[in-house]
Structure 1
Amino acid sequence: MDQTLINRIVEGALLASSQPLTLAQLKDLFPEDEPAPPGSIERALERLREGCQDRGVELVEVASGFRYQVTAEVHGWISRLWTERKTRYTRATLETLALIAYRQPITRGEIEQVRG
């Protein structure tokens, strides 16, 4: 198996995975009858890391494996994709929270008694 194909397989797996992949998980991608040559997955990871030098993403090793992540210099722009909505509380929830805040400790029965 040539190194170019191994690079593509590792890159595709890292992009498709929703969580970091360990070296063992990457090695398990290859069948037992045709395993990746020793050190080829590590070389693929290093080449992918080098290929990200001038891009907006980087390949990093975290405690749980390897993953692609956005670089720090473009994070400010990319974070705008995930806008957080302001939490809206109902009137009943706000009344309950106010009772808890002003009359701690309070039981559920006492809350229901005050709210009627």
Structure 2
Amino acid sequence: MRAADGRREIVVGIDPARDWHLPLAWASDEAHRRGLGLRLVVAVRPSHQNRQVNGTPRTTALHQAGSEALTAGTDWARERHPGAEVATDLIEGTSTSMRAWWDSRPIAGTGDLAT
């Protein structure tokens, strides 16, 4: 995949509710091996799917957990490979909107987003 600036990168999804170390280890090692950037992505369900509105404790907690997971994942990846270029995205969306986000990104090589 290519970043907005055209640089190639490895993209990995982080689930704040699960152990993300194994997929992040693979992605960070692969990015390091190939000399590519690394992008961590957390998807948070839209507030209307949680039957909540923005700013409610549940929605706020989901966004906070996502942000904390991205920070922890970034720190962990940089500890594993000092000097690694790591970017993050916290995206609110369903699998359909995630697919649209994925499709809007320039792709380097082949691949697919599991939905």
TM superposition score category, shorter chain reference: under 0.3
**Structure (1 or 2) with the greater helix fraction:** 1
Looking at both structures, which has the greater relative contact order when contacts are Cα pairs under 8 Å and sequence separation is at least 6? 2
